Structure formats: structure tokens, C-alpha cells
Amino acid sequence: MSELTDITALVQKMGNESKQFMERYDGKVKNLESIVNAIEIALGRSEIRGGGSSHDGAFSAAAQEHKEKFLAWARKGSDPDGLRALEVQANLSTLSDPAGGYLVPIEIEKNIERLALAAVAMRRLARIRTSKGEYKKPLSKGGATGGWVAEKAARPETDTPELTLFSPPMNEIYAMPSVTQKLLDMSDFDIEGWILEEINDVFVTTEGTGFITGNGVGRVKGIIDAALMVPNANWVYGKTGYIAGGHASLLNNADKLVDLQHALKPVYRQNGTWLMNDATFAIIRKFKDGDGNYLWRPGLLENAPNTLLGKPVEIDDNVPDVGAGAYPIAFGDYRRAYTIVDHLSGTRLLRDPYTTKGFVNFYVTKKIAGGISNYEAIKFLKIATS
């Protein structure tokens, strides 16, 4: 009996130590994620400088002063010339022409980006880049050859790879919330929180839709374009491969999910993620294997992802529902497949107190580009028999 008690106590101790370890681990991971996110934003906005803490302190003071002046300008329209000078001091801009509006403060910009990261699946999955102008990157379609060679053997000329230029056009998204001047005049009105909420609501919706179904005309090019979809057996560069689900209007064949997963090359499959909307996810959750086990596995630990056939599942309600001819499920390595480019000009705001008397319109703009940069790294399931 004593031995059983000792064993029980030992198991409980091991369980407590394991729990404490996981809590410490989760905290460190969250902290690292926050640090990495801050560094990426800072690198994109050229905020990281050298020279020690005094320099950084001066920069922070300038950024804080810019924020205070910006919020005063947003509320009252006061001292725009001083605001422009502070933009330069805070390392946000070297422009002298305020016609395009003023850059929102760094803190608000970071909060916008943080909220977008949490709300837009493609922001979490895709490769994010920043650019001062149009983004251009040469890509290889494959075809380069080589081989083994002895130390003194001849090296015959090899085929050169076929290159293509990935250059998604910069497009502008905008929001134009309005508020009464009377409300702005009230000292307890949270102008910063209001601007952040109004901008985020529009930007998240606009970006989220664009990254999935955008047609590339005056907006980003999304991952789904029916004109570029071909059966995976007929795949060529510039087209997106799909696997037919086996039914004209329903999603009812779990084996097709396996086929879709293996349609992706192993080099991309190892980092593959499922992408679908919540209604499709509800259908998938009911799928079972031949032994009656659910294919879907919930994450058992905090922040652990749900998995389907061993790979994480991301939910984005911009992905189409199950229906005839639709593409409701994607599987891919989205970091290799899709590139989002944020323009370094950041988020700009133009204050308009004239158009609607008694109201102040805030015209907010942001430049962004996006498109598929590697057509091999993503595949779709189509609701069709072939």
C-alpha cells in the first residue's frame, strides 16, 4: 500500500512539474512571438537604429510627441505644419507635401497590424514583405540542370532555368469613417481608439476578401481564380492545380482529402496547412476513417492547432462554401505560395471637415500588393466529379 502511495505521489509530482514546464514554455513562446512581431514591424518601418539607449530614448520621445500632435490635429485640425516636422523627427517620413495626408503614429500602426494578423488568416500564413515602390522578384519556373562531376572532369554547359518576374501591382485600400465635430470636441472622446476601430474594421474586411478571391484589378490578386484552375494532372506554371471532390455538389468523400494532401509535393507538404471556412470545417469534423475515428483532431494543449490528417487547420470565412463548382478547401505551404507586400509609406490619414457640415471625414489609405508567387505550393479541392 505504501509503495502504491509513493508511486501515486511521484506521478502527481511529475504531472505538476510537467504542467509548470508547459506554462513557462507557453509564456516564453508568447513573449518571443511578440518580440518577433515587433522586430518585423520595426524593420519594415526602418525604426531600428544603433547608438545606444540614449538615441533610442530620443526616438521614442519623438514618436510620442508625434502621436500627441497627431491626435490633437485629428481632433481640432490644429498645427499641421508642426505635425509634418514631427513625422520627419520620428523617422516616419521625409516628405514635405501633406496633400496625401499624415502618417498615423507608430503605436496605432502597430495595433492595426496586430489586429490584422489576428483576424486575417493569410496575414498569418503568407510571406510578408515591405517595399518602398513596386515589388519585383525574379522566380525560377524550374528547368536548371546539373549533376555529379569528378575533380578534373569536364563540366558541360547545363540548361539555364526559365525565369519569370513576380511583380504584383501596388493597390490602395481605403476607409472613410465620419464623426461629428461636436463629439470630437468632447475631451473624454477616445479619438485614438475610435480611429483604430474604424480603420481596422474596414481594412480587415477588405484585405481578407482580397487575399482569397481578389481578381487583381484595382486590388490584390487572391489565391482563388477559377480561370487559372486546372486538374492537377494538367498543372503547368501559372495555373493552380485542383483535385475533384467526386460529387457534383457535396463534400462527402474523406479519401479526397488524402488525395489533395498528396497532390502537393513533399517539400511543400511538410509545412502544409488546411484552409477553409467554418461551415466547411463543420462538415470535415464529422468525417471518420475506416475504424470510426475522427480525421479531425482538436488541439489538446493551449494554443496548439487543430489538425486534419496531421496538419493544422486555419479558418477564413472568405473561402467559398461547399457548392457546385466551388473551391472550398485549400492545402498548401502558403509562405512559399503567396506573398503580401506592404508599402513602406504606411497608413495615411487625411482630415476633411468641409465636405459634410458638422461632420469630420477621415480618409485613410494604405498601399498593398499580393499574389501567388509559387503555384506549386498550393492545391485546391473542387466540388465536382472531374
Tens digits of residue pLDDT in 9-48 = 665 666 666 656 555 555 555 455 545 554 554 444 444 4
Give how far the C-alpha of residue 228 lies from the chain's centroid of Cα atoms, to the nearest Å. Answer: 22
The fraction of the chain above a pLDDT of 90, given in percent, is 54
Task: Provide the pLDDT confidence category of residue 49 given band limits of 50, 70 and 90.
Answer: very low
Residue 243, H or E segment: strand 240-244
Q: Which three cell numbers stand for residue 281?
A: 470545417
- Strand ranges across the sheet with 329-332: 229-231, 240-244, 378-382, 329-332, 273-276, 311-315, 307-308, 296-297
Q: How far apart (Å, rounded) are the C-alpha atoms in residues 99 and 88?
A: 16
- pLDDT (0 to 100) of residue 39: 52
Q: How far apart (Å, rounded) are the C-alpha atoms in residues 378 and 374?
A: 8
Q: Name which of 43-47, 53-57, 88-92 the model is least confident about.
A: 53-57
Q: Which three cell numbers stand for residue 206?
A: 477588405
- pLDDT (0 to 100) of residue 95: 56
Question: Closest Cα partner for 343 from 44, 113, 136, 116?
Answer: 44
Buried b (16+ CB within 10 A) or exposed e, 232-255: beebeeebbbbbbbbeeeebeebe
Domain 104-141+159-386 in this protein, CATH class = alpha beta
Q: Alpha helices of 2-120 — where are they, by DSSP H?
A: 2-44, 53-76, 80-89, 106-119
Q: How far apart (Å, rounded) are the C-alpha atoms in residues 193 and 172?
A: 23
Helix/strand/coil for 325? coil
Task: State the average pLDDT for the chain.
Answer: 83
CB-based burial of residue 156 (10 Å sphere; 0-12 exposed, 13-18 middle, 19+ buried)? exposed
Mean of the pLDDT values across residues 362-379?
95
Helices (H) and strands (E) in the chain, counts: 11, 16
Residues 6 or more apart in contact with residue 206 via CB below 8 angstroms: 173
- pLDDT (0 to 100) of residue 380: 98
Mean of the pLDDT values across residues 263-271?
95
Residue 116: CB atoms within 10 Å:
19
| Inter-CA distances, 233 with 73, 241, 242, 244, 361, Å | 59, 8, 9, 11, 52
